[in-house]
Structure 1
Amino acid sequence: MFDGFDTYIYTSKGERLMNSVLVQTFDVDNVRYIKDMKVPVCSAHEIRIKVRVCALDGLDKKVLRGEFSSFVALPLTPGYQVSGVVDQTGSSVRNFTKGDAVVAIIPLDTRYGGLGSYVIVNHINAIKKPESVEHVDAAAILLDGLRIYHSLHYLASIKPSHFVGIACEDLALTHVALQVLKAIKDVKVIIISKSGGYTYKEYGSFIVRVVDPSMESTVDCVMQETGGLGLDLILDFRDNDQGFGGTVGDGKGDKAETDPQDDRKHLDHREKIEEEVVGRMDTPCPVKKSVIIRCLAVHGRWITSNTHLQLHPHESLQLAMRSASLCFLFEQTWLLSPKQQGKYLHILEDLMQGLKKKVLKPLVAKRIKLEEVRSALKHLRVSSGGGKIAVLVNNGDEA
Structure 2
Amino acid sequence: MKGLYCKLNNDSEDVKFVIHQTNPPQSIGDHQVKVQVKACALSPVDTKASSDLKLQKDLIPVGREITGIVLQVGPKVSFFQPEDEVVGVLPLDSETSGLCDVVFIHEHNLVQKPEKLSWFEAAGAIRDGLKVYTALHTLARMAMGHTLLVLDGASPFGVMAIQLAHYHGVKVLATALSPEDQKFLEQLRPSVARVIGVWDVKVDLVDSCLEETGGLGVDIVIDAGVRLYEEEPPSRHQLPHKHDIITVLGVGGHWVTSENNLQLDPPDSHTLFLKAASLSFLNEEVWGASCVRQGRYLHIMKDVMEKLCTGTLRPLLEDPVPLYEATVSMEMVQKKQVRKRVVIKL
Please say if 1:227 is aligned against 2:214.
Answer: yes
Native 8 Å contact 1:44 1:93 kept in 2: yes
Query: 1:380 matched to which residue of 2?
Result: 333
Secondary structure of 2:46 counterpart: helix
What is the CA–CA distance in structure 1 between the aligned matches of 2:147 and 2:91, rounded to whole Å? 33
Change (3 A) 1:388 1:28: farther
What is the CA–CA distance in structure 2 between the aligned matches of 1:44 and 1:280, rounded to whole Å? 50
Give the aligned residue type for 1:220.
D
Unaligned runs of 5+ in 1: 1-17, 248-252, 257-277, 394-399
Secondary structure of 2:61 counterpart: coil
Query: 2:188 matched to which residue of 1?
Result: 203
Please say if 1:161 is aligned against 2:114.
Answer: no
What is the CA–CA distance in structure 1 between the aligned matches of 2:235 and 2:56, rounded to whole Å? 34
Query: 2:284 matched to which residue of 1?
Result: 331
Larger radius of gyration: 1
Deviation at 1:28, TM superposition (A): 6.4
Secondary structure of 1:228 counterpart: coil
Query: 1:364 matched to which residue of 2?
Result: 317
Cα deviation per residue 1:225-283 (whole Å; 9 max; x = unaligned)? Answer: 11000010001133xxxx30xx4xxxxx2xx4xxxxxxxxxxxxxxxxxxxxx546654
Unaligned runs of 5+ in 2: none
Trace 1:1-399 onto structure 2 (pairs within 5 A).
18-25=1-8, 26=12, 29-34=15-20, 36-40=21-25, 41-57=27-43, 60-63=44-47, 66-70=48-52, 71-74=54-57, 75-168=59-152, 171-185=155-169, 187-198=170-181, 199=183, 200-214=185-199, 215=201, 216-238=203-225, 243-244=226-227, 247=228, 253=229, 256=230, 279=232, 283=236, 285-383=238-336, 385-393=338-346
Give the aligned residue type for 2:31.
H
What is the CA–CA distance in structure 2 between the aligned matches of 1:68 and 1:56, rounded to whole Å? 17
The count of corresponding residues between Structure 1 and Structure 2 is 336
Change (3 A) 1:231 1:385: farther
What is the CA–CA distance in structure 1 between the aligned matches of 2:311 and 2:335, rounded to whole Å? 31
What is the CA–CA distance in structure 2 between the aligned matches of 1:284 and 1:92, rounded to whole Å? 52
Secondary structure of 1:197 counterpart: helix
What is the CA–CA distance in structure 2 between the aligned matches of 1:283 and 1:122, rounded to whole Å? 38
Cα deviation per residue 1:5-58 (whole Å; 9 max; x = unaligned)? Answer: xxxxxxxxxxxxx22112332566532113x4222342111112111111012x
Give the aligned residue type for 2:188.
Y
Native 8 Å contact 1:192 1:285 kept in 2: no
Secondary structure of 1:141 counterpart: helix
Query: 1:262 matched to which residue of 2?
Result: none
Cα deviation per residue 1:121-146 (whole Å; 9 max; x = unaligned)? Answer: 11122111111110011111111101
Give the aligned residue type for 1:311.
L
What is the CA–CA distance in structure 2 between the aligned matches of 1:288 and 1:296, rounded to whole Å? 13
Deviation at 1:158, TM superposition (A): 2.1
Give the aligned residue type for 2:271.
Q
Change (3 A) 1:152 1:392: same
Cα deviation per residue 1:111-130 (whole Å; 9 max; x = unaligned)? Answer: 32312222221112211111
What is the CA–CA distance in structure 2 between the aligned matches of 1:20 and 1:141, rounded to whole Å? 22
What is the CA–CA distance in structure 1 between the aligned matches of 2:237 and 2:157, rounded to whole Å? 15
What is the CA–CA distance in structure 1 between the aligned matches of 2:233 and 2:198, rounded to whole Å? 12
Native 8 Å contact 1:127 1:345 kept in 2: yes
Deviation at 1:323, TM superposition (A): 0.9
Give the aligned residue type for 1:24.
K
Deviation at 1:148, TM superposition (A): 0.9
Q: RMSD value over aligned CA atoms?
A: 2.0
TM-score (norm 1): 0.79
Give the aligned residue type for 2:104.
I
Change (3 A) 1:139 1:287: same
Deviation at 1:348, TM superposition (A): 1.0
Which is worse superposed, 192-201 or 45-54? 192-201
What is the CA–CA distance in structure 2 between the aligned matches of 1:356 and 1:302, rounded to whole Å? 30
Give the aligned residue type for 2:82.
K
What is the CA–CA distance in structure 1 between the aligned matches of 2:236 and 2:296, rounded to whole Å? 37
Task: Give me the identity figure in percent.
Answer: 28
Native 8 Å contact 1:170 1:385 kept in 2: no
What is the CA–CA distance in structure 2 between the aligned matches of 1:93 and 1:389, rounded to whole Å? 31
What is the CA–CA distance in structure 2 between the aligned matches of 1:172 and 1:340, rounded to whole Å? 26
Which is worse superposed, 107-116 or 47-56? 107-116
Give the aligned residue type for 1:314.
P
